[in-house]
Amino acid sequence: MGKKFKLCSKRKVILIVGSIIVSISAVISTINIRYGYSLNNYENYRERNSSNITITEMMNKNLAKIEKGPSSIDNKIVYITVDDGPSRYTDEIIDILEKYNAKATFFLLENNMKRYPDKVNNIINNGNKAGFHGVSHDIHELYKNGASARKEFEVNQDTFFNITGETSKLIRLPYGSKPYTPCEVYNDLINCGYRIWDWNIDTQDWKLNPNQIIENVKINSENKDEIIVLIHEKQQTVECLGEILDYLSNQGYEFKTIDQNQIPQNFWSNNLYK
């Protein structure tokens, strides 16, 4: 009887341990599916195109749809990204952001960092984040080959470090990571550890007037819970930035900066927030 009881207990223990292992595996595979863009996956992910989509990615897409559910005002996130600075408008942009309790990510050009070092520090000291936008801003120079692109961002890195004592892995490629950036250049930069970010709302503020810029944001943010808004350091942008931030805030968006370790959203990896 005692022996039988012991056997039963052993079996029970084996059963319990077994089910725990099965449960843990299930949780791990769910995490893998849910957060499929782990760093290793990401390296592979960017190699594949949409016609070569894996089961995990398909499930990921479906899960995202299910989890999204009805548009929730609590989960809306906006990343304001500011290109081509610093400039004479930087401090004003920072002040406007401050008014709306918003922070932004600034992608800085070499010559402008050298010209306005105080503004680079102002960006950082006010809780905003910085990344790089190159030296030449010329597709024929920057994208000549991997070495030319690496060099530009190394120079950016050195200048930024000399001014702030900080480093950054974030990059916004001039004119976006597609279509001008050759695959070799993209891969070289990724292999150097840079995080390349594009956008899913192009305000086209470099050529539009304030009303058109605002309209652009309104139309293109419709039904999107996560948006990366591209703006530039321009007079017309400064004129309407307050209204844009006011609108997004009223729509329930939370302003966030891009984190150094966040998986980058870009045209090559085809994983931009839809």
Nearest to Zn ion of 57, 205 (CB atom)? 205
**SS3 breakdown of the chain: % helix, strand, coil, rounded to 5?**
50, 15, 35
Q: How far is the CB of 232 from Zn ion (least distance, A)?
A: 7
Nearest to Zn ion of 78, 173 (CB atom)? 173
Q: How far is the CB of 271 from Zn ion (least distance, A)?
A: 22
From 61-69, 168-176, 185-193, 216-224, span contacting Zn ion (CB under 5 A): 168-176
Residues 239-268 contacting Zn ion, CB under 5 A: none
Closest residue to Zn ion: CB criterion: 83
List 253's β-bridge partners, or say none. 76
Contact residues for 40 (Cβ-Cβ < 8 A; gap 6+): none
Write each residue from 54 to 93 as x if it is in contact with Zn ion (CB under 5 A), else as -, in one continuous string. Answer: -----------------------------xx---------
Nearest to Zn ion of 76, 88 (CB atom)? 88
Q: How far is the CB of 107 from Zn ion (least distance, A)?
A: 7
110 contacts Zn ion (rule: CB under 5 A): no
Nearest to Zn ion of 45, 135 (CB atom)? 135
Nearest to Zn ion of 133, 195 (CB atom)? 133
Nearest to Zn ion of 84, 225 (CB atom)? 84
Coil, strand or helix at 170: strand
Residue 118 CA to chain centroid, in angstroms? Answer: 26
Q: How far is the CB of 80 from Zn ion (least distance, A)?
A: 15
Strands (E), the chain: 76-85, 104-108, 129-132, 170-171, 195-196, 201-202, 226-232, 253-255
Cβ contact 159:114 at 8 Å: yes
Residues 173-202 contacting Zn ion, CB under 5 A: 174
Contact residues for 87 (Cβ-Cβ < 8 A; gap 6+): 112, 116, 119, 233
Q: What is the dihedral of CA 98, 199, 273, 123, to 10 degrees?
A: -30
Binding site for Zn ion (CB under 5 A): 83-84, 174
